[in-house]
Amino acid sequence: MEVQANGVSVVIDGREIVHDVSLTCGQGSLTALVGPSGCGKTTLLHCLGLLQRPTSGRVSVDGVDTTGWKARERRRFWKESGAFVLQDYGVMEEESVAFNVVMKSTVFGSRVVGDEKKLNSVLELTGLTGRAGERASHLSGGEKQRLSIARALYKDARAVFVDEPTASLDEDNRTRVIELLVGLARRGCAVIVATHDDEMMRACDVRYPVGGSARRAVEVRRSRQ
Ligand SMILES: Nc1ncnc2c1ncn2[C@@H]1O[C@H](COP(=O)(O)OP(=O)(O)OP(=O)(O)O)[C@@H](O)[C@H]1O
């Protein structure tokens, strides 16, 4: 999936938070939105993920302009194609790890339904093997981060929007999360990451400086081996 911003600006309370961003986040590529705290990375990420409407400009998905999309079309995009790994992890604390991945249960919520083999495979990939039945609230910050990635992997998301994925992680978890995001891109997903982290930035194919004067997406590597 390709997610594209064309002349996207966001004005809140008379203040321009995002200024005239044009950027293409391609299928199979890992794009970093970079810049100092408060420069508008999260706001831009939310626009690209259709969580927030730009004040002007447009966001297109696979070449389709989403400006006129109603709630129903945006919901379909989130359900079928998009996944989020946000700073508050987007995890349902009271639910099990398995439910948080599969997001489906029987009518009365007593049992998670879904593809068990696939569930086990994504839990293994994200280092959460054996944790399916545990309450998500028991997980550590790094584990919750990986749980959100497990959900993106399970649903075969085609675009994943990630906010500061490594901010509060120790070295091991950080490396692991970066590897998982690179893995998602290698599967053909468009992965867009707002980040301050040098190691995360180095793993990205494209770095886009948000804010500042000389804004231009820098392609770091043309292709991965
Ligand atoms: N809903 C809102 N109402 C008022 N101001 C907002 C709102 N959303 C964002 N802002 C402001 O816009 C600016 C950019 O915020 P944003 O969270 O996008 O920055 P950021 O680059 O992601 O910052 P950080 O790296 O610290 O997470 C900040 O000054 C913030 O206070």
Which pLDDT tens digits describe the chain residue by residue (225 residues)? 999 999 999 999 999 999 999 999 999 999 999 999 899 999 999 999 999 999 999 999 999 999 999 999 999 999 999 999 887 667 899 999 999 999 876 655 566 678 889 999 999 988 899 999 999 999 988 888 889 999 999 998 999 999 988 887 888 888 988 999 999 999 999 999 999 999 999 999 999 999 855 556 666 654 444
Tell the residue nearest (CA) to atom 4 of ligand 1: 12
Taking the CA of residue 13 as reference, the ligand 1 atom at the shortest distance is 4
Q: Is the CB of 10 under 6 A from ligand 1?
A: no
**pTM, full prediction:** 0.89
Ligand 1: centre distance to CA 123 (Å): 33
Which element (helix H / strand E) includes 18?
strand 15-25
**What phi and psi, each to the nearest 5 degrees, are found at residue 173?**
-65, -35
CATH code for the part of the protein at 3-219: 3.40.50.300
Query: Is 30 strand, coil or helix?
Result: strand
Q: Is the CB of 12 under 6 A from ligand 1?
A: yes
Distance, in Å, from the CA atom of 107 to the CA atom of 35, rounded to the nearest integer, reads 45
Q: Which residues of 39-54 are buried (b: 16+ CB within 10 A; e: fewer)?
A: bbbbbbbbbbbbbbbb
Helix 171-186, helix 141-154: angle, nearest 10: 10
Tell the residue nearest (CA) to atom 2 of ligand 1: 12
Tokens of 17: 């938070």
Environment class of 110 (CB within 10 Å of its CB; exposed 0-12, middle 13-18, buried 19+) = exposed
